[in-house]
Amino acid sequence: MEFYGVTLSSRLLLGTARYPSPKILEAAVRASGAEIVTVSLRREGGDQRAGQAFWSLIGELGLRVLPNTAGCHSVKEAVTTAHMARELFGTTWIKLEVIGEADTLQPDVFGLVEAARILGEDGFEVFPYTTEDLVVAERLLEGGCRVLMPWGAPIGSARGLNNLFGLRALRAHFPDVPLVIDAGLGLPSHAAAAMEMGYDAVLLNTAVAEAGDPVRMAEAFALAVDAGRLAHTASPLEPRDMAAPSTPVLGKAVLA
């Protein structure tokens, strides 16, 4: 798997919010085998250098950081946050979120496309949190994005893959674009299903962080992602309308 010229072994990206403790976060990240973690930039407390222990922990894990613009509801806010993140983390990678609806946290796709274009022109390598809409995807790619991150379901909902038709259509329409399912996964089986469809990776946070045992759940998701990818590369059977006997009829004894 490759993102913006960077080759990665793990197809599981993990968020770093809402864990019971830094120790559990560290153990869960290690159990997941993830090579990329997402980190939200919080403006408050900057002068007091709040949260430095957290940043130190992230640094010690030795992973690639993907800052995000979580909580941004306008183009200006998202672009400003992205610039702050680039300065703080020293990376041109940014997970771009422009939220348009409060209850579902659905992306504002109009603002998303505009912000992606602005950040692309400013030298960012953008990972846009988007919907499965084909037209929006086309506009994001035209704006310079080389990765797309469609939602499976609303953030933190654990509903899995809500629109299988739309997600399959997106995969088929953009066969050469890295696609990452981002948001809404609740079970390892959801992740496996996404990988079986041919998606390149999954990104999740709440399903691991709020599990009864985040470390075991992180490991379970890692296994599911690997299993789903392996199944996809094995060219699985397509669904059939009729039964197909697994035991051959030829050579079967005929009783009079």
Give the residue numbers spanning the domain of 149.
2-234
In a domain, 19, yes or no: yes
* pLDDT(45) > 50: no
In a domain, 155, yes or no: yes
Rounded to two decimals, the pTM is: 0.89
26-46 mean pLDDT: 81
Task: Give DSSP secondary structure letters for the chain.
Answer: -EETTEE-S--EEEE-SS-S-HHHHHHHHHHHT-SEEEEE---TTTTTTTTHHHHHHHHHTT-EEEEE-TT--SHHHHHHHHHHHHHHH--SEEEE--B--TTT--B-HHHHHHHHHHHHHTT-EEEEEE-S-HHHHHHHHHTT---BEE-SSSTT-----S-HHHHHHHHHH-TTS-BEEES---SHHHHHHHHHTT-SEEEESHHHHTSSSHHHHHHHHHHHHHHHHHHHHT-PPPP-SS---SS--TT-----
* pLDDT(48) > 60: no
* pLDDT(58) > 80: no
21-47 mean pLDDT: 82
* pLDDT(46) > 60: no
Residue bearing the bigger pLDDT, 252 or 173: 173
CATH number (domain holding residue 206):
3.20.20.70
- When divided into structural domains, the chain yields a total of 1
In a domain, 224, yes or no: yes
- Percentage of the residues of the chain whose pLDDT score is greater than 70: 92
In a domain, 21, yes or no: yes
- pLDDT 10s digits, 131-172: 999 999 999 999 999 999 999 999 999 999 999 999 999 999
Residue 47 confidence (pLDDT): 45
Residue bearing the bigger pLDDT, 100 or 253: 100
Average pLDDT taken over every residue of the chain: 91
In a domain, 242, yes or no: no
In a domain, 249, yes or no: no
Binding-site annotation: residue ranges for 1-deoxy-D-xylulose 5-phosphate: 156, 183-184, 205-206
Residue 238 confidence (pLDDT): 86
Binding-site annotation: residue ranges: 156, 183-184, 205-206
Residue 246 confidence (pLDDT): 80
pLDDT classification of 256: cutoffs 50, 70, 90: low
In a domain, 253, yes or no: no
Residue 95 among the catalytic residues: yes
In a domain, 216, yes or no: yes
Residue 24 confidence (pLDDT): 93
- Bridge partner list, 173: none
* pLDDT(52) > 70: no
- pLDDT 10s digits, 210-241: 999 999 999 999 999 999 999 999 988 888 88
